Amino acid sequence: MRQMIIGNWKMHGLRGDGKELAQEIAAAIGPALTRRDVVLAPPFTLTHCLAPLLHEHGIGLGAQDCHAEAEGAYTGDISAAMLADLGVSHVILGHSERREHHHETNARIRRKAERAREFGLCPVVCVGESARQKEDGHAEPWLTEQITQSLPADFDGIVAYEPIWAIGTGKAATQEDIESRMVFLHGVLADHLETDDKPTRVLYGGSVKPEDAASILAVPGVGGVLVGGASLSARSFLGIVQAGLSSAS
């Protein structure tokens, strides 16, 4: 399975600098796209203006959220149908920042994932534990609950594992930490999902940097990475996209 690199720009970028960043990435990314899938998820305000450029260069267009309903009186929200209409292919759901700041529950994320698939979008559902849960030994029950409650049994999208204690800290989990979590997560997914013939791609996210990317991407079970801050620099993001490719078989 090809690995996927997703750049999550979060709430960064006006039209001018957003276009400039996307153009820098698109101009240099060509060779890597023969080996890896790449998606950029800009703020909603940049989705329309970046769509032609990204599509022209074979880069997927992602979004950072969608509403659980197809339409309705939900002021300020964006529906999956609206995203699909703009050419979006992937949508990030249940990111730890939305779970915390918008109080999103597993049940709500599940409804969003189902709605995204209804309109042809690939949901990228985030799961992850806090530092306290990790230290108290509650991480695995917590992750199991997130997976079984956030993903419908016929889920065929992507899971992104983001240890909350590593996000924005500049400290990624060790290779041993990541490999252990990947074994665990793939096991839970295999038990929960009714899609045994199609393994789920599981990404790692949590302060991914160019200097760490090759070792992270080499960990068994890692289907790619979800990149936050480092995706706001063309040089850094391209370094992650290209990490390990020269030595890969």
- Known binding-site residues equal 8-10, 168, 207, 228-229
95 in catalytic set: yes
Q: Which of 67, 95, 97, 104 is catalytic?
A: 95
Q: Where are the beta strands (DSSP E) in the chain?
A: 3-8, 36-41, 60-63, 90-93, 122-127, 158-161, 201-205, 224-227
Residues marked as binding for substrate?
8-10, 168, 207, 228-229
Q: Which of 97, 104, 129, 162 is catalytic?
A: 162
Buried b (16+ CB within 10 A) or exposed e, 33-62: eeebbbbbbbbbebbeebeebbeebebbbb
Residue partners of 132: CB distance under 8 A and separation at least 6: none
Query: What is the rounded distance in angstroms from the CA atom of residue 236 to the CA atom of residue 215?
Result: 16
67 in catalytic set: no
Catalytic residues: 95, 162
